[in-house]
Amino acid sequence: MSDTHAQTVAFVRDTMIPEQVPPVTERGAVKWLRENLFNGWLSTVLTVLSLLVVAWMVLETGPWLMRSVWDAGSLSECRRIWAEAGVPAGACWGVINDRLHQLLFGFYPPHLYWRPVLALALLLVALGPILFPWVPRKLIWFSAAYPFMAYFLLWGGSIWLPVSAALGFVVAGAVLVLLRPLGTLPATLAAFLAPLLWWAVAAGPFASVMSDLLPVGIEFVRSDRFGGFLISLVIGVTGISLSLPLGILLALGRQSDMILIKSICVTFIEFIRGVPLITLLFTASLLLNYFLPPGTSFDLILRVIIMVTLFAAAYMAEVIRGGLAALPRGQYEAADALGLDYWKAQRLIIMPQALRIAIPGIVNTFIGLFKDTTLVVFIGLLDPIGLSNAIRASSDWQGIYWELFIFIGAVFFVFCFGMSRYSMYLERRLRTDHR
Partner 1 sequence: MAVTQGEAPRESFRLSMLLYDTRYRSYTIQIFALMLLMLGAAWLIDNTLRNLQALGKDFSFAFLWNVAGYDISQRPIEYDSTMTHGRAAVVGFLNTIILAIMACVLATVVGVIAGVLRLSNNWMVARLMTVYVEVFRNIPTLLWILIFGAIMTEAMPPPSAFRGDEPTASMAFFDSVAVTNRGVYVPAPEFSRGLGALDLGGVQPSLNAIAFILVVALSIWANRRLIAHATRVQNATGVRPKTWWKSLLILFGPVILLLWALGFHLSYPELRGFNFQGGIHMRNSLIAMWLGLGIYTGAFIAENVRAGILAISKGQTEAAFSLGLQPGKTMRLVILPQALRVIIPPLISQYLNITKNTSLGLAVGYMDLRSTLGGITINQTGRELEGMMLMMLIYLLISLTISGAMNVYNSRVKLKER
Smaller CB separation from partner 1, 134 or 290: 290
Whether the CB-CB separation of 328 and 357 falls below 8 Å is answered with no
Smaller CB separation from partner 1, 33 or 121: 33
Distance of CA 133 to the CA centre of its chain: 20
Query: Which of 297, 401, 434, 435 contacts partner 1 by CB under 8 A?
Result: 401
How far apart are CB 226 and partner 1 at their closest, in Å? 19
* 130 belongs to the binding site for partner 1 (CB under 8 A): no
Part in contact with partner 1 (CB under 8 A); list of ranges 1-9, 32-40, 297-305, 350-358:
32-40
* 385 belongs to the binding site for partner 1 (CB under 8 A): yes
Instruction: Give, as ranges, the residues between 361 and 380 that touch partner 1 (CB under 8 A).
Output: 367, 371-372, 374-375, 377-378
User: Site for partner 1 (CB under 8 A): how many residues?
Assistant: 57
Smaller CB separation from partner 1, 35 or 212: 35
Smaller CB separation from partner 1, 303 or 371: 371
Distance of CA 152 to the CA centre of its chain: 22
Part in contact with partner 1 (CB under 8 A); list of ranges 10-18, 73-81, 180-188, 215-223:
180-188
* 289 belongs to the binding site for partner 1 (CB under 8 A): yes
How far apart are CB 274 and partner 1 at their closest, in Å? 4
Nearest to 92 by CA among 106, 104, 78: 78
Q: What is the DSSP string of 7-60?
A: HHSS----SPPPPPPPPGGGSHHHHHHHHHT-SSHHHHHHHHHHHHHHHHHHHH
Instruction: Give, as ranges, the residues between 94 and 123 that touch partner 1 (CB under 8 A).
Output: none
User: How far apart are the C-alpha atoms of 311 and 290, rounded to whole Å?
Assistant: 20
* 52 belongs to the binding site for partner 1 (CB under 8 A): no
User: How far apart are the C-alpha atoms of 367 and 354, rounded to whole Å?
Assistant: 20
Query: Which of 25, 39, 61, 68 contacts partner 1 by CB under 8 A?
Result: 39
* 276 belongs to the binding site for partner 1 (CB under 8 A): yes
**What are residue 150's phi and psi, to 5 degrees?**
-65, -45
How far apart are CB 249 and partner 1 at their closest, in Å? 13
* 23 belongs to the binding site for partner 1 (CB under 8 A): no
Whether the CB-CB separation of 327 and 350 falls below 8 Å is answered with yes
Query: Which of 36, 68, 97, 398 contacts partner 1 by CB under 8 A?
Result: 36
* 283 belongs to the binding site for partner 1 (CB under 8 A): yes
User: How far apart are the C-alpha atoms of 216 and 209, rounded to whole Å?
Assistant: 12
Query: CB within 8 A of 361, min separation 6: which ones?
Result: 319, 322, 323
Q: What is the DSSP string of 206-251?
A: HHHHHHHHS--EE----GGGB-HHHHHHHHHHHHHHHHHHHHHHHH
Smaller CB separation from partner 1, 103 or 207: 103
* 326 belongs to the binding site for partner 1 (CB under 8 A): no
User: How far apart are the C-alpha atoms of 115 and 152, rounded to whole Å?
Assistant: 9
Part in contact with partner 1 (CB under 8 A); list of ranges 30-38, 71-79, 101-109, 238-246:
30-38
Burial of 272-311, coded b for 16+ CB within 10 Å and e otherwise, reads beeeebeebbebbbeebeeeeeeeeeeebbebbbbbbbbb
- Which residue type sits at 252? L
Smaller CB separation from partner 1, 114 or 405: 405
Give, as one character, the DSSP assignment of residue 423.
H
* 330 belongs to the binding site for partner 1 (CB under 8 A): no
Sites of contact with partner 1 (CB under 8 A) = 35-37, 39, 43, 46-47, 50-51, 53-54, 183, 185-186, 257-261, 264, 270-271, 273-279, 282-283, 286-287, 289-294, 367, 371-372, 374-375, 377-378, 385, 401-402, 405, 408-409, 412-413, 416-417, 420
